[in-house]
């Protein structure tokens, strides 16, 4: 489950409600495109703007569309441990295969607080857990010794790292071996992350280029490095455009151009500016994912 191309799925909206039909169609598309697993309700999925009931509906609809053929990782990431535990238990009840837990944003707990938060969610449900490390969004970073304590818990299965510190995955691999999977959460550097001991990617860009992401990971595991380089170079301008402003504004617009959802955000997020929209569209055309 925690390897190759995992998509951090957007959440389609229609008149400020989850577009359940679009969710099911998106999941079916990713299944056909070779995606390895899906993360729902994360930052790219505008998870912080979802109610508990919407979180439940999102997992249920995605689960119905996969038919058990594609692993579903549900985000259980909120400000408080109590809410994260609730979301973890709800996700398990609705059929999620695993959980993703972000270090709590804004509150900036110390290392003991981070450990106890993750442990509480781990203990709340009998599902594998992926730790999501994104200090740029949360203001708090996990230390290696804290991660070592977490690694001793039986269902800690993966770490998603959204930093560009490319020495860290190698350091973790040498220290922990294969005790848990290492996944890149940074699209611009994910190939380098693989070379530093990574197992795969939790990707934003794969929302619009799932077949290319799947093919690149297959090529990596087959050690076809020439093919890896060709796909990497084709994807890079697109990835750069999809981070021209705050994620997930660009990627949701890009998915809408491909006809899979509406370009509808929830405040405080807003659609891209005309200049940003042109940049995103041109990048899709350059990547041969959209006709000119």
CATH number of the domain that residue 185 is part of: 3.20.20.70
Q: Do 82 and 107 meet the contact criterion of CB atoms below 8 Å apart?
A: no
- pLDDT at position 56: 96
Residue 246 pLDDT more than 90? yes
* Mean local confidence (pLDDT), 144-167: 95
- pLDDT at position 16: 94
Strand extents, DSSP E, 196-286: 200-203
The pTM of this model reads 0.95
* Mean local confidence (pLDDT), 138-146: 88
Would you call 160 a catalytic residue per the annotation? yes
- Which of 132, 213, 252, 253 is an active site residue? 132
Question: In this structure, what are the phi and psi dihedrals at residue 8, rounded to the nearest 5 degrees?
Answer: -80, 90
Residue 239 counted as domain residue: no
Residue 268 counted as domain residue: no
For residue 60, give the 3-state DSSP assignment.
Answer: helix
Residue 131 pLDDT more than 90? yes
Q: Do 292 and 214 meet the contact criterion of CB atoms below 8 Å apart?
A: no
> How many distinct structural domains can be found in the chain?
1
Q: What percent of the chain has pLDDT over 90?
A: 92
Q: What pLDDT, in 10s, does the model give residues 52-94?
A: 999 999 999 999 998 889 999 999 988 899 999 999 999 999 9
| CA neighbours closer than 13 Å in the CB half-sphere of residue 35 | 30
Spatial CA neighbour of 252 closest among 18, 45, 63: 45
Model confidence band, residue 119 (pLDDT cutoffs 50, 70, 90): very high
38 phi-psi bin (left φ>0, alpha ψ -120 to 50, beta other): beta
- pLDDT at position 50: 96
Peptide bond into 78 cis (omega under 30): no
Model confidence band, residue 42 (pLDDT cutoffs 50, 70, 90): very high
Residue 42 counted as domain residue: yes
Q: How far apart are CA 255 and CA 46, in angstroms?
A: 15
Residue 139 pLDDT more than 80? no
Residue 8 counted as domain residue: yes
Residue 153 counted as domain residue: yes
Residue 266 counted as domain residue: no
131 phi-psi bin (left φ>0, alpha ψ -120 to 50, beta other): beta
Q: What is the DSSP letter of 183?
A: E
* Mean local confidence (pLDDT), 248-277: 96
Q: How far apart are CA 240 and CA 250, in angstroms?
A: 10
**Three-class DSSP labels, 6-22:** EEECCCCEECCEECHHH
Q: Which domain holds residue 159?
A: 4-224
Q: Do 42 and 76 meet the contact criterion of CB atoms below 8 Å apart?
A: no
- pLDDT at position 28: 95
Residue 205 pLDDT more than 80? yes
Model confidence band, residue 36 (pLDDT cutoffs 50, 70, 90): very high
* Mean local confidence (pLDDT), 269-283: 97
Q: Do 250 and 283 meet the contact criterion of CB atoms below 8 Å apart?
A: no
Q: What percent of the chain has pLDDT over 70?
A: 100
Would you call 253 a catalytic residue per the annotation? no
Residue 56 counted as domain residue: yes
Spatial CA neighbour of 133 closest among 123, 125, 144: 144
Residue 288 counted as domain residue: no
- Which of 4, 93, 119, 160 is an active site residue? 160
Q: How far is CA 89 from CA 24, 35, 75, 77, in A?
A: 22, 26, 11, 12
Q: How far apart are CA 25 and CA 38, in angstroms?
A: 13
Model confidence band, residue 141 (pLDDT cutoffs 50, 70, 90): confident
């Amino acid at each position: 489950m925690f390897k190759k191309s995992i998509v951090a799925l957007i959440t389609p909206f229609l008149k400020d409600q989850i577009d359940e039909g679009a969710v099911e169609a998106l999941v079916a598309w990713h299944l056909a495109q070779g995606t390895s697993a899906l993360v729902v309700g994360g930052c790219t999925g505008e998870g912080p703007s979802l109610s508990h009931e919407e979180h439940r509906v999102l997992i249920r609809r995605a689960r119905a569309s996969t038919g058990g053929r594609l692993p579903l990782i549900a985000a259980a990431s909120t400000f408080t441990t109590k809410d994260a535990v609730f979301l973890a238990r709800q996700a398990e009840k609705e059929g999620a295969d695993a959980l993703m837990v972000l270090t709590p944003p804004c509150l900036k707990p110390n290392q003991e607080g981070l450990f106890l938060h993750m442990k509480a969610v781990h203990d709340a449900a009998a599902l594998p857990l992926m730790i999501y490390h994104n200090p740029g969004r949360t203001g708090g970073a996990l230390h290696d010794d804290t991660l070592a304590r977490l690694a001793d818990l039986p269902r800690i299965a993966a770490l998603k790292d959204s930093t560009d510190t490319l020495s860290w995955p190698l350091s973790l691999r040498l220290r922990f071996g294969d005790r848990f999977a290492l996944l890149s959460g940074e699209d611009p550097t994910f190939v380098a992350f693989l070379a530093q001991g990574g197992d795969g990617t939790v990707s934003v860009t794969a929302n619009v280029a799932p077949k290319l992401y799947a093919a690149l990971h297959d090529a990596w595991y087959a050690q076809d490095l020439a093919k890896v380089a060709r796909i990497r170079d084709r994807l890079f301008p697109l990835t750069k455009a999809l981070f021209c402003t705050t994620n997930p504004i660009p990627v949701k617009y890009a998915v809408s151009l491909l006809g899979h959802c509406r370009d509808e955000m929830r405040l405080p997020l807003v659609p891209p500016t005309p200049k940003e929209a042109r940049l995103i569209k041109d990048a899709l055309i350059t990547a041969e994912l959209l006709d000119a």
